[in-house]
Amino acid sequence: MKHNIWEFSRKSDDTYVVYHNGNLLSDSIPEKKLNDEVCVRYGFCGHEYEAICSQLNRSGKCTVDLNSSSPTHLSIRE
């Protein structure tokens, strides 16, 4: 099974970085543009976007495993 791992993290300058399967997709995303990148560009909207932002607010990083066996097929972890 091919990996489908997304990683989001907040940098020390309060911008965000997005990786997919270890490949850098976006760097230095300002907070005001985070929704555009995460939802519009990468398709994590609604509950998924809220869960990602909640985890980012708690720890500054979030990993989304779309190969997860969770009922929603979305496993969000630090």
| Residue pLDDT, tens place only, 47-75 | 999 999 999 999 999 999 887 766 555 56
The residues near 58 (Cβ < 8 Å, ≥ 6 apart) are 78
Q: Are strands 23-30 and 75-77 parallel, antiparallel or unpaired?
A: unpaired
Q: What is the pTM of this model?
A: 0.84
CA angle (67 as vertex; 26, 60 as ends), nearest 5: 40
How far apart CA 12 and CA 20 sit, in angstroms, is: 21
How far apart CA 23 and CA 32 sit, in angstroms, is: 23
Residue 16 structure tokens: 């965000």
Q: Given pLDDT bands bounded at 50, 70 and 90, which one contains residue 3? A: confident
How far apart CA 71 and CA 40 sit, in angstroms, is: 24
